[in-house]
Amino acid sequence: MVFQLFATTADNFNATNNQTSAICDASFFNSTWSREFPGRVDYSLCPDTWVALCLTFLLIYLSTIFSSGLGVIWKRNSGHIQARSPIYLFFTLFSAFIFIFGMTMRFIVGRKIFPCGLVTIFFFTFPQAVTLPTIFRLMRTFLMHKINLQKTKLFDVDVNKGQVRVDQSQSALSETMSKTELKLVDSDISSEMSLTNVELNEGNEDGDVSNSKIEFKNLSDVKKEMRKLNIYNFLISYKFITVVYILAFVFGILLWVLIGVVEEVVYQKDPTKGRIFLLEGGILLFEHGCGLSTNTTIIIGVESIAYIILELVFFILCLMADRDSWGIKKESLALIFFQIVAAVLFIVCGSINVIKNLVDYYVPYGFLIWGYMLLEVIVCVSLPVLYSIGKEKKHQESGDTGFERLLKNKKTFDIVLDFARRSYCTESVLCWRDIERYKKSGKGNRKKIALHIVEAYLSLEAPLELNMPKIQERKQELSAIIENGSLELDLFNGIQEHCLHDMIDLMDRLSSANKEISEILRNSK
Amino acid sequence: MGNIVVSPHDKEGQHHMMATPTSNNPNGGSAATAKNKSEITVLLLGAGESGKSTLFKQVQFFHGVGITHDQERIELIEIVRLNVLENAKNLVAATQHLNIPIEQPENRETAKLIINSLNTNDLEDPSWSKRLYSLWKDAGIQKAYENREKFQLYDSTEYLFENLDRICSDKYVPTVVDVIRTRTKTIGITDMKFDVGDGKQLRLVDVGGQRNERRKWIHFFNTVDAVVFLTSLSEFDLNLYEDNGYWRVKESLRVFNEVVNNALFYKVPFVLLFNKRDLFEKKIATKSFSKYFSGFNEAEEKNPVACIEYMTKLFLNEITEHPLDTVSVKTLSAIDHDNSKQVFEEVKQFIMTQQHRE
């Protein structure tokens, strides 16, 4: 139906291919708006106007993607950005950029000048540019949901079934797990648990939580589920989406070349019949600009179908994902709505003569699509960056890092340390700082700092001994590791967490005593 | 280990002023000194988890400072929720150690989330109230809870789980009771001053109780006018947080011995408070008291008065230097507001009379 309407307008256009146009509005020829004097119709195009909306839009658009891109890099480690994956966000920025830049430039330069070949390239890659970010966003939301489900299954403790200790499959498991962003790895469990002060009276040898034995399903089941997990992980990997993006764009360009050649061959045979696909240009024509014909629209429509189907499939799958802690599902669904609205309006506008032949020269109705793409960038990239900035102000990624912010800032650290000194509890504060130094140290210094931490804070009767259970055992364990020379940066993470935990009381007192600190802590909640 | 030795060089305590809120001087100020006669300094001493800070918070509350104000309590939301999470984590971890499976699959699911990813912000969501409560009521968790003497668990566990519907809400403001019940390990030393009439001020000093913390107590020994020593009645079946092979009662007796017989305290009124009487009475109803004390008559083990009498003797036997007529012994349930108020009033009277006698 829509295409029929299109066809009618296109026919009208063809019929009025002469100097005095019945289609083009008179204001294009003799008003001050017009770029041409005297105006004329070339290549079935009316004279352009001077209205600078495109330039303004392009500037707004460029500053949005530029600042959002910087924001993504800056906040790449924050929860909101990580959950969406910085690479995905960059692809979203990039894919809209090509299209919008190309199309707005056409209006800025002038439709008659902007090479026809370029316009067609942009149109042939348009379906990818619009749908791929959405498809991948929906796909990722769905797959992350599946991965979480799968992992929960993997760790399910099945009391009735024959249990196999995880030891055999552990290395394979952690390898798989490390590829995913969510931390459920065995070692993480143990480090988490060792913070929880659980020590037993009985059986001290195997009572330590770091050897905690959590039991799992049969090994064969585990393997099967791991294979699934591997597939999901591959599908959301950077490699996969990069390859798909490249292939999709290459495919669009190949299609452009192919159809261009066909058009050229047919045209060469009988130039009097005009172009099949374009009004008075050629797909491969770069000398001047051109307008699009209905046939072009149909080709792009057909090319889009596959993408629209994919989008639909993932849209439905995405509805199944149950948890949406980062609002990704919400924003994807909202954008789908706007995408449909924009597409429908675009087609409708394209079929209304007044819009196509008059309004379009002042305010191009392509804005419907560009506007949608700008909205997508704002909703999916800029806003998450803003959330993470806002969230950082409120509280940093995990747990009560309001404390950490106080400690990481030199000025507030000094306030904390001074207060701790007057309360006789500098050990946690100093130990936290030294572990921070350890984490930033180069290879050469690391051992020295590590030994200092163990000696100063983890030795019984040391002046700065921490308030910590089983301190001697911890010291032995850590000393052995340090002697071995395996100085991982996370070696003292558990101890540092403990220090933060011990500071709860101190920080509470400090925030009652110091307005400035209280303000910072309140804002970080 | 843990010996309390007064170093003659340590003068810091004398001029020490804390930046904690006081009833008339929010920033600790520097006007009053410890030697000021109008000021009575009372030390709250005792081993870890004997209830010093709980009593300290109660005293704040009677005097209308600190946690009395909504704003102060709002700042403690995080800490209450952290307590909930820690209790839940400890219980889940205990089920693994004690080899008691969590029975319901959905509770196992919850347990996994607790160990791996749950944080205090998540608890704003009311759905967690149901999930955590269901976990708490799981037969496996309950069985672990019955065996809680085998691992470290806060006394507040049951209370917090029973109040989850309030805590897991974005409108949650901790009540005074919530704050009193919340466990926060005290580190270092903190103090607070209250007007007690007659132009006098009472300066109450709260300290951390674990072994490393006790070394800091000496900073205050010189300036002290009275000592309130707390010990937990309900710790008879528990081991130390610092050293898991060590019986808590033995540690408390040892610390008591060191403090009460310290030369600096000979002339100082001394109060021994047997705290957690409420928990203790519940505990001896189901657990054997005589199992832990060979000298105790088994037939009397369900009688709290006899048990407390026995404990009193045990502690008083430690006193070798301090004059007995300046020692007062009382029982306390520090989480109980009225009881704390009454006992603290008695303690105050005792201290004032003793001072008057001098």
How does pLDDT run across B84-93, given as a tens digit for each residue?
A: 999 999 999 9
Per the listing, tokens 């989850």 go with B164
pLDDT tens string A272-295: 766 766 666 677 777 777 777 667
A214 with A251, same domain: the answer is no
A352 part of a folded domain:
yes
- In one-letter notation, the amino acid at residue A279 is L
Partner-chain contact A521 B75, CB within 8 Å: yes
Quickly list H helices, chain B.
52-62, 70-74, 77-97, 105-116, 127-136, 139-146, 157-162, 164-167, 176-181, 211-214, 218-221, 248-260, 277-286, 304-316, 337-357
Here the ipTM equals 0.83
- CA nearest neighbour of B32 among B11, B44, B16: B16
* Axis-axis angle for helices A493-513, A410-422 (nearest 10): 80
Answer for the pair A89, A81: CB distance below 8 angstroms, yes or no.
yes
A112 with A246, same domain: the answer is yes
Which domain-ending residue is among A366, A393, A420?
A393
Partner-chain contact A183 B116, CB within 8 Å: yes
Answer for the pair A116, A286: CB distance below 8 angstroms, yes or no.
yes
B206 is catalytic: yes
Substitution target from B17, B190, B216, B243 for chain A, most A beta carbons within 10 A? B190
Closest CB to A199 among B66, B152, B213:
B152
A322 with A441, same domain: the answer is no
Task: Give me the domains of chain B, ranges plus CATH numbers.
Answer: 39-68+186-357 (3.40.50.300), 77-173 (1.10.400.10)
Judging contacts by C-beta atoms under 8 Å, the chain B residues touching residue A189 are 115-116
A207 with A242, same domain: the answer is no
Answer for the pair A69, A92: CB distance below 8 angstroms, yes or no.
no
Answer for the pair A152, A327: CB distance below 8 angstroms, yes or no.
no
Partner-chain contact A425 B94, CB within 8 Å: no
Partner-chain contact A199 B21, CB within 8 Å: no
Question: Which CATH number do you get for residue A89?
Answer: 1.20.1070
Per the listing, tokens 């708490």 go with B136
Residue A394: predicted pLDDT: 54
Closest CB to B101 among A157, A184, A471:
A157
- CA nearest neighbour of A525 among A383, A393, A387, A389: A393
Substitution target from B116, B141, B172, B239 for chain A, most A beta carbons within 10 A? B116
- Kindly write down the DSSP assignment for every residue of A53-66, as one continuous string: HHHHHHHHHHHHHH
Residue A280: predicted pLDDT: 66
Residue B22: predicted pLDDT: 38
Sign of CA dihedral B252, B257, B260, B264: negative
- CA nearest neighbour of A417 among B126, A427, A133: A427
| Helix (H) or strand (E) run with residue A294 in it | helix A294-320
How far is CA A195 from each of CA A171, B82, B281, rounded to the nearest angstrom?
24, 13, 31
> Cα angle vertex B213, ends B208, B214, to 5°?
100
Its domain, for residue A111, covers 42-145+236-393
Residue B144: predicted pLDDT: 93
How far is CA A449 from each of CA A38, A209, A444, A478, rounded to the nearest angstrom?
81, 27, 10, 13
Partner-chain contact A209 B93, CB within 8 Å: yes
Residue of A nearest to B2 (CA): A461
**Cα–Cα distance for residue pair A41/A17, rounded to 1 Å:** 7
A 430-469 residues with CB < 8 A to B: 460-461, 465-469
Percent of chain B with pLDDT over 90: 48
Percentage helix, strand, coil, to 5, in chain B? 50, 10, 40
pLDDT tens string B220-268: 888 899 999 999 999 999 888 888 788 999 999 999 999 999 888 888 9
A136 with A100, same domain: the answer is yes
Low-confidence stretches of chain A (pLDDT < 70) are 1-33, 35-44, 50-52, 150-222, 273-274, 276-281, 293-294, 322-325, 391-401, 524-525
pLDDT tens string B99-137: 899 999 899 989 988 888 788 888 888 889 999 999 999
A37 part of a folded domain:
no
Answer for the pair A487, A359: CB distance below 8 angstroms, yes or no.
no
How far is CA B309 from each of CA A438, B53, B292, B315, rounded to the nearest angstrom?
53, 25, 15, 10
- Please give the structure tokens belonging to residue A503: 């500071």
Residue A153: predicted pLDDT: 56
**Cα–Cα distance for residue pair B44/B63, rounded to 1 Å:** 17
A389 part of a folded domain:
yes
A153 part of a folded domain:
no
Residues, chain A: 525
A387 with A404, same domain: the answer is no
| Helix (H) or strand (E) run with residue B40 in it | strand B39-45
A65 with A193, same domain: the answer is no
User: Phi and psi for B280 in degrees, rounded to 5?
Assistant: -60, -45
**Cα–Cα distance for residue pair A414/A23, rounded to 1 Å:** 75
A241 with A309, same domain: the answer is yes
A389 with A425, same domain: the answer is no
Residue B277 annotated as binding site: yes
Residue A481: predicted pLDDT: 87
Sign of CA dihedral A27, A32, A37, A43: negative
A496 part of a folded domain:
yes
Answer for the pair A396, A404: CB distance below 8 angstroms, yes or no.
yes
Which domain-ending residue is among A393, A415, A444?
A393
Residue B305: predicted pLDDT: 93
- Please give the structure tokens belonging to residue A115: 């090479």
A465 CA to chain B: closest CA distance, Å? 6
B204 forms bridges with which residues in the sheet?
B42, B192
Residue of B nearest to A462 (CA): B212
What is the 8-class DSSP label of residue A358? Answer: I
Partner-chain contact B187 A502, CB within 8 Å: yes
Number of independent structural domains in chain A: 2
> Cα angle vertex A160, ends A157, A161, to 5°?
75
A292 with A339, same domain: the answer is yes
Judging contacts by C-beta atoms under 8 Å, the chain B residues touching residue A466 are 212
Rg (CA), chain B: 21
Residue B328: predicted pLDDT: 93
Partner-chain contact A199 B119, CB within 8 Å: no
pLDDT tens string A378-436: 988 888 888 888 766 554 444 446 788 888 888 889 999 999 998 889 999 999 999 98
**Total CB pairs under 8 A between chain A and B:** 151
Please determine, for residue B56, whether its predicted confidence score (pLDDT) is greater than 90.
yes
Answer for the pair B186, B18: CB distance below 8 angstroms, yes or no.
no
* Axis-axis angle for helices A238-269, A126-154 (nearest 10): 150
A216 with A240, same domain: the answer is no
**Cα–Cα distance for residue pair B34/B40, rounded to 1 Å:** 8
B198 is catalytic: no
Per the listing, tokens 């032995």 go with A476
If one compares A351 and B214, the residue with the highest pLDDT of the two is B214
Please determine, for residue B27, whether its predicted confidence score (pLDDT) is greater than 80.
no
A102 with A130, same domain: the answer is yes
What is the 8-class DSSP label of residue A507? Answer: H
Answer for the pair A109, A119: CB distance below 8 angstroms, yes or no.
no
**Cα–Cα distance for residue pair B210/B255, rounded to 1 Å:** 10
Closest CB to B101 among A159, A202, A525:
A159
Closest CB to A196 among B90, B121, B184:
B90
Closest CB to A467 among B120, B187, B239:
B187
- Please give the structure tokens belonging to residue B90: 């400890």
Answer for the pair B189, B216: CB distance below 8 angstroms, yes or no.
yes
Question: Which CATH number do you get for residue A414?
Answer: 1.10.167.10
Residue of B nearest to A520 (CA): B75
A503 part of a folded domain:
yes
A487 part of a folded domain:
yes
B338 is catalytic: no
- The answer to whether B242 contacts chain A (CB < 8 Å) is yes
- The answer to whether A184 contacts chain B (CB < 8 Å) is yes
What is the 8-class DSSP label of residue A210? Answer: G
B194 forms bridges with which residues in the sheet?
B202
Partner-chain contact B75 A424, CB within 8 Å: no
Active-site residue, from B60, B182, B210, B326: B210
A154 part of a folded domain:
no
Which domain-ending residue is among A393, A422, A457?
A393
Quickly list H helices, A423-514.
426-440, 443-457, 471-484, 493-513
Partner-chain contact B188 A419, CB within 8 Å: no
